[in-house]
Chains A and B, each alone.
Chain A
Amino acid sequence: GAGVSQSPSNKVTEKGKDVELRCDPISGHTALYWYRQSLGQGLEFLIYFQGNSAPDKSGLPSDRFSAERTGGSVSTLTIQRTQQEDSAVYLCASSLWISSTDTQYFGPGTRLTVL
């Protein structure tokens, strides 16, 4: 079956521009997560959704970052006025429920480069 998909796979942008990253979770998965992975580093949790709701936005690095999810499916992560330190791979994952026992399945990621 289809896994988690993300688009674009690569995005190069100029400092100060806005970017929008998309995540399409596995069908039927109610929980969706966004992470950021900087070069050679582990993962930094950004935000999760249970359905369309994101109860805790404290993991977002700054107010330039926002995320939404509609229809309990596709999610978009928007970064406004991008900065060079935003360069990273942005990973999306989904799981059946927001539960510690449910494995998170990861998408291929979007590599963002801010020039």
Chain B
Amino acid sequence: ELKVEQNPLFLSMQEGKNYTIYCNYSTTSDRLYWYRQDPGKSLESLFVLLSNGAVKQEGRLMASLDTKARLSTLHITAAVHDLSATYFCAVFMDSNYQLIWGAGTKLIIKP
């Protein structure tokens, strides 16, 4: 059974700081997604990582995938308040077309 673990589950940080959210998964997959969810809102797609070594960047967010280590990271550079949200990673299972989700990282960025 595929398990997806995110850490930390909660992160409070100051504006301007850098931090990394980690997403570990337990079985082979080379398809990983990052989503953002604002309180009371639905999920917004951030990144799709489709191969080992994939790196994608959008603004202050950068995501990477290491399929050998079964690890993806979401790095936040010089955080700003607008990035406060819950961030989810999800791993695609080719065997049954399911996305298996991490529990989410709630990020609070204080001005």
Q: Which residues of A contact B94 (CB under 8 A)?
A: 100
Q: Which residues of B contact A43 (CB under 8 A)?
A: 43, 88, 90, 99, 101
For the complex, give the distance between the alpha carbons of A7 and B101 in Å: 24
Q: Which residue of A lies closest to B47 (CB)?
A: A103
For the complex, give the distance between the alpha carbons of A103 and B45 in Å: 7
* Other-chain residue from A48, A91, A106, A109 in contact with B98 (beta carbon distance below 8 A): A48
Asked whether, in the complex, the Cβ of B101 is within 8 Å of the Cβ of A42, the reply is: yes
For the complex, give the distance between the alpha carbons of A76 and B98 in Å: 19
Asked whether A91 and B42 contact (CB < 8 A) given A42-B103, A45-B100, the answer is yes
Total residue contacts A-B, CB cutoff 8 A: 50
A59 proximal to B (CB < 8 A): yes
Q: Which residues of B contact A45 (CB under 8 A)?
A: 98-101
Q: Which residues of A contact B71 (CB under 8 A)?
A: none
Interface of A is mostly: loop
For the complex, give the distance between the alpha carbons of A103 and B35 in Å: 10
For the complex, give the distance between the alpha carbons of A103 and B43 in Å: 12
Interface of B is mostly: strand
For the complex, give the distance between the alpha carbons of A42 and B48 in Å: 18
Q: Which residues of A contact B92 (CB under 8 A)?
A: 100
Q: Which residues of A contact B41 (CB under 8 A)?
A: 108
Interface residues of B in 73-104 (CB under 8 A from A): 88, 90, 92, 94, 96-104
A60 proximal to B (CB < 8 A): no
For the complex, give the distance between the alpha carbons of A100 and B104 in Å: 20
Asked whether, in the complex, the Cβ of B31 is within 8 Å of the Cβ of A91, the reply is: no
A98 proximal to B (CB < 8 A): yes
Q: Which residues of B contact A42 (CB under 8 A)?
A: 88, 101-104
Asked whether, in the complex, the Cβ of B99 is within 8 Å of the Cβ of A106, the reply is: no
Asked whether, in the complex, the Cβ of A104 is within 8 Å of the Cβ of B99, the reply is: yes
B33 proximal to A (CB < 8 A): yes
Sort A-B residue pairs by CB-CB distance and give the 5 closest, nearest first: A100-B31, A42-B101, A100-B92, A43-B101, A106-B43
Interface residues of A (CB under 8 A from B): 33, 41-45, 48, 50, 56, 59, 91, 93, 98, 100-101, 103-109
